[in-house]
Amino acid sequence: MEESLVKQDILLKICAIGSGKVGKSEILTRFSNGKVIKNHLTTLGVDVTTRKIMIDETLVKLLFIVTTGKQSFKKLRPSYYKGASACIIFFTLKDRLTFIEIPSWIREFRSKVSDESIPISLIAITKKSKFHKIINLIPKSVLNFISRLLHLQSNRFSKKAQVTSEEVLSLAQQFSINYHEINVRNPLNFENCVIELAREVLEKMVEI
């Protein structure tokens, strides 16, 4: 009788952190159970979601611990980092403040875990406008005018200015972490990021 090729189940605890209101719980809820939540309320403390996936003939149970980005919860967050296998830091390219705060999130997480080499992924959440097809019908002259107006507004509100991919890649290299951009409406894109992160954890476990 042939032995099963499926290895023993493995549990990986993944902390999901980052600034508030970027869509952490929304993307993880959709990834875990396929539900799309409209007008998702801001996480008040902690959200927990799970999902099982097969990675290289190993059944892996992913336990996502989503903590709020609110400053009032800062003292309690570290207690949820204990025993983490990996970490995902979420932000949005449309809000520079969420990008500026990334180094603080990295330091907070790494200072509260026993192993600073725990894999970390940096994920930018984007939302493709449902009106993107209509934009193609707008004359270029009008689009250029709108673009100039938006540029002026971004100079007035620098903290809300968009972040370039080059800036994020530079930061990711500085801290030796992976970087991905995902669309909140495309769960498959996020799944690939999670599989890559989980595989990195599994490979690290084999080396020990």
> What is the predicted pLDDT for the residue at 23?
84
> What is the predicted pLDDT for the residue at 86?
97
Chain centroid, CA 18 distance in Å: 8
What are 99-144's pLDDT values in tens digits? 999 999 999 999 999 888 899 999 998 865 444 444 445 565 654 5
How many CB atoms sit inside 10 A of residue 53's CB?
15
Q: Which of 9-13, 43-47, 60-64, 147-151 is predicted with the least confidence, judged by mean pLDDT?
A: 147-151
Higher-scoring residue by pLDDT: 50, 44: 50
> Burial level of 144, CB count in 10 A (0-12/13-18/19+)?
exposed
pLDDT band at 157 (very low <50, low <70, confident <90, very high): very low
Handedness of CA 194, 174, 168, 76 (dihedral sign): positive
Report domain 7-207's class. alpha beta
For residue 159, give the DSSP letter: G
Locate the domains of the chain by residue range.
Answer: 7-207
Judge whether residue 4 has pLDDT over 90: no
What secondary structure does DSSP assign to 65-92, as a single string? EEE---GGGTTTTHHHHTT-SEEEEEE-
Higher-scoring residue by pLDDT: 7, 123: 123
